[in-house]
Amino acid sequence: MVDMIEKCKQIVTVIYNKFDASHDFAHIERVMKNAMGILTKEPSANEEVIRLAVLLHDIEDAKYKSDDNPTVLEILQLIGADDELSKRVLACIKSVSFSGGNAKDITSIDGAIVRDADRLDAIGAIGIARTFAFGGAKGRKLYDTEEVVRDNMSEVDYRSKETASVTHFHEKLLLLKDLMLTVEGKRLAEQRHDYMEGFLKQLDYEIGS
**pLDDT tens-digit series, residues 44-82:** 999 999 999 999 999 999 888 888 999 999 999 999 999
**Over residues 12-30, mean pLDDT:** 97
Q: What are the start-end ranges of the H helices in 79-179? A: 83-94, 109-120, 124-137, 155-160, 165-171
Domains delineated in the chain: 2-207 (1.10.3210.50)
N-term to C-term CA, the chain: 53
Torsion-angle region of residue 99: left (phi > 0), alpha (psi -120 to 50) or beta? Answer: left
**pLDDT tens-digit series, residues 86-143:** 999 999 999 887 765 556 678 899 999 999 999 999 999 999 999 999 999 999 999 9
Rounded Cα gap, residues 175 and 171, in angstroms: 7
Model confidence band, residue 152 (pLDDT cutoffs 50, 70, 90): confident
Which DSSP symbol is given to 19? S
Provide the whole-model pTM: 0.92
